[in-house]
Structure 1
Amino acid sequence: MKKILSVITLFCVFTACSQEKSTDKPKEVKSNTILLADPTIFYNKGTYYLYGTTTGDFPNGEGFQVYTSTDLKDWKGPNGAQSGLALKKGDAFGDKGFWAPQILSYQNKFYMIYTANENIAVAVSDSPLGPFKSESKEPIIKTGNQIDPFIFIDEDGKKYLYHVRLTNGNRIFAAEINDDFQSIKPETLTECISGILPWENTQNVSWPVTEGPTVLKHNSLYYMIYSANDFRNIDYAVGYATSKSPLGPWEKAADSPIISRKNTKQNGIGHGDVFWDKNNKMHYVLHTHFSESGVSPRKAGIISIEFKDGKIVADPASFQFLNVK
């Protein structure tokens, strides 16, 4: 009987985790603020492109919207190549749970690395607006469940896939990824971050969450920015860790979290990506809860960050929501 109960408990935990990125049916709301979760901004030739997990007009099983701006203030869209979508179900791996995309430019093509069906895939396009299409309808990693991909290309040309594996919590892993972005080198798979600090698990749950990794390099040191706590928790927040190697070991920063409801007055703030504007100023795009009383649909915003004395420092006063005109 004890064994049966353990199996049931494990199933319930995994089921809860598998719903981690989902939200209830989007509310009927009128808001100028762009309704996207897990956002990323890609800058190319004078235009900013905003993508993310859809929480507004489209169900997140249809693909990825894209909005555009030339100044980070006035946004237009969604104006992806396919009815507002940059990537559409049917052109991609998977048929549900399209979450947390990342865009990068490589060898005169635009690549979208994304989650669907709790696995990671890649799609290619000639334009940031799409249409992005997956040449392979197979996930990059074919065993287990993983979400929240981020590709980092080091100065020596080696490429790394950071991602979250759903195993005894949402844990951040890394592995070298092959040049075609279609598979990893499994012998390099390494665990990086798990939620063991008090700020990373404020509700003291049995399935701690660390997710949404972004990795960058500054003065020969690697920085991983990540979020912790369940996204539905008002204490969802952003911290960082450093390493001398892209595969770790990672040392968590003592000043984390650097972005939280305590310094921004926004509940559930986190899970985004770093980008540099046209003036080479660094920002972090992220999402917040819809309101003090409701999680969904989540809203997209940006906050200025910078390197200072080897630390990543956020400017809470710079926080602003992204509004569509």
Structure 2
Amino acid sequence: MKKLLIIFCCVLSALSSLALSKNLERHNLPVDTICLADPTVFKDNGMYYLYGTGSPDGFWVYQSVDLKNWSGPVGKRNGHALLKGDSYGTKGFWAPQIFKQKGKYYMAYTADEHIAIAESDSPLGPFTQKVIKAISGTGKQIDPYVFRDTDGSLYLYHVRLQEGNRIFVARLKSDLSDIEENTAKECISAEAPWENTEKVKWPVAEGPTVMKRDGLYYLFYSANDFRNIDYAVGYATASSPMGPWVKYEKNPILNRALIGQNGTGHGDFFTGNSNQLYYVFHTHHTNNSVGKRKTAIIKATFTNGKPAVSIMDKNSFQFLELKHATK
């Protein structure tokens, strides 16, 4: 009888493990390394929240208190912070960004190759729109990044698909309802050799992130097609959020030569404990396959001077891993 009980427990354990594996597979979740492309990390009240491209139905959110042990997805809509149907879009949910304004949480994101902004009372969602719509603009627009200047002015950096992926900026209305369309202006396009290593007819500059240091604006971006092993990160500087922008002469600052991983790019900066600056980004799944793209972080620093030089600390590079997975 004792042997039968042991066998039964072993079978039950195996079935439980199989059920967990099937559950993870059903939800398209990685078991160990988190696989979100175009990631962003938002810190709020001591908790880190991770979002990115991964679900066909919106955006999952993961959380961590130490950047090492992550759990999730933990969003309020079946693991999603934003679920299809609650806001604009039916497919192609890409490149979210979270920011806080007057006690509300906002998510700027891409869906159906257009940009929308949804709001929530919590970083876990649900992010919704009272009026379901995309922002204004000509043609297809992707990869939004909302920047709030020190005077409170809001700007939407984004990518427009016209003769290549080109980064634009436009003033954003104070109520976040739309851009001021007549202010839209091109920032940069992919022109340097490192930005188009395959010399394609549709060059790519995308994934903008903007910060301000000592009165100077820094625009970080990724170049090359994301499937290219040379997908990498560079930056440009300007004295105004509208430009003109001057690219750093020693770009790229994050690439496969630095960390030994292909397809490094399209991320966002966030500040951790002790005011440590981090860049969260994705890499190819392996050096022989693109997807599912894996999520990683690396420490970033700036030298003294104006402009300062941005440096990525290759020794701090790490993939983000799940502590456990939930529905």
User: TM-score of the superposition, structure 1-length normalised?
Assistant: 0.89
- Mapped contact 2:137–2:181 kept (Cα < 8 A): no
Aligned positions of 1:139-218 closer than 5 A: 139-218=134-213
Q: How does 1:7-18 map to 2 (within 5 A)?
A: none
Larger radius of gyration: 2
What SS class does the counterpart of residue 257 from structure 2 fall into? helix
Matched residue, 2:18: none
Query: Helix, strand or coil for the counterpart of 1:196?
Result: coil
Higher deviation after alignment, 205-214 or 136-145: 136-145
Query: Partners in 2 of 1:93 and 1:85 — Cα distance?
Result: 15
Tell me if 1:69 matches 2:64.
yes
CA distance in 2, matches of 1:280, 1:242: 22
Identity of aligned residues (%): 55
Structure 2 counterpart SS, 1:235:
coil
Which residue of 2 is the match for residue 36 of structure 1? 36
Report the CA distance between 1:125 and its aligned residue: 0.4
Work out the CA distance in 2 between the residues paired with 1:117 and 1:209.
19
Counterpart AA for 1:228: A
Report the more deviating stretch, 138-147 or 201-210. 138-147
Task: Classify the secondary structure of the residue corresponding to 1:262.
Answer: helix
> Offset at 1:98?
0.5
Displacement of 1:136 after TM fit? 2.1
- 2:93 aligns with 98
How far did residue 153 of structure 1 move? 0.5
Check whether the contact 2:146–2:157 (CA below 8 A) recurs between aligned residues: yes
In the alignment, residue 247 of structure 1 is paired with which amino acid? Answer: M
- For 1:231 and 1:142, the matched residues in 2 are separated by 24
Q: Provide the C-alpha distance between the structure 2 equivalents of 1:321 and 1:164, rounded to a whole number of angstroms.
A: 27
CA distance in 2, matches of 1:142, 1:175: 10
Is it true that 1:319 corresponds to 2:317 in the alignment?
Answer: yes
Offset, 1:105 = 0.6
* Structure-1 separation of matches of 2:29 and 2:155: 39
Give per-residue Cα distances to partners, 1:178-236, cap 9 Å, x unaligned: 01112111221110010000000000000000000000000100000100000000000
CA distance in 1, matches of 2:159, 2:138: 13
Distance 1:287 1:172 in 2: 19
2:278: which partner in 1? Answer: 283
What secondary structure sits across from 1:156 in the alignment? coil
CA apart distance, 1:312: 0.8
Partners of 2:142 and 2:30 in 1: CA distance = 30
Partner of residue 10, structure 2: none
Displacement of 1:141: 1.7
- Match of residue 12 from structure 1: none
State the one-letter code of the partner of 2:249: A
Note the C-alpha offset of 1:287. Answer: 0.3
Provide structure 1 residue ranges, at least 5 long, that are not aligned to the other structure: 1-25
Match in the other structure for 1:303: 298
Q: Distance in 1 between the 2:122 and 2:292 partners?
A: 28
Query: What's the counterpart of residue 239 of structure 1?
Result: 234
C-alpha distance in 2 between matches for 1:230 and 1:174: 21
The change in CA–CA distance for 1:30 and 1:78 in structure 2 (over 3 A counts) is: closer
Q: Residues of 1 paired with 2:130 and 2:92: CA distance?
A: 19
Which of 262, 265, 271 matches 1:267? 262
* Alignment match, 1:133: 128
The amino acid of 2:112's aligned partner reads N
1:53 corresponding residue in structure 2: 53
Kindly indicate whether the alpha-carbon contact (under 8 Å) linking 1:119 and 1:141 is maintained by their aligned counterparts in 2. Answer: no
RMSD over aligned CA atoms reads: 1.6
1:249-300, Cα deviation, whole Å (9 max, x unpaired): 0000012100000011010010000000022110000000000111010000
For structure 2, the 5+ residue unaligned runs are 1-25
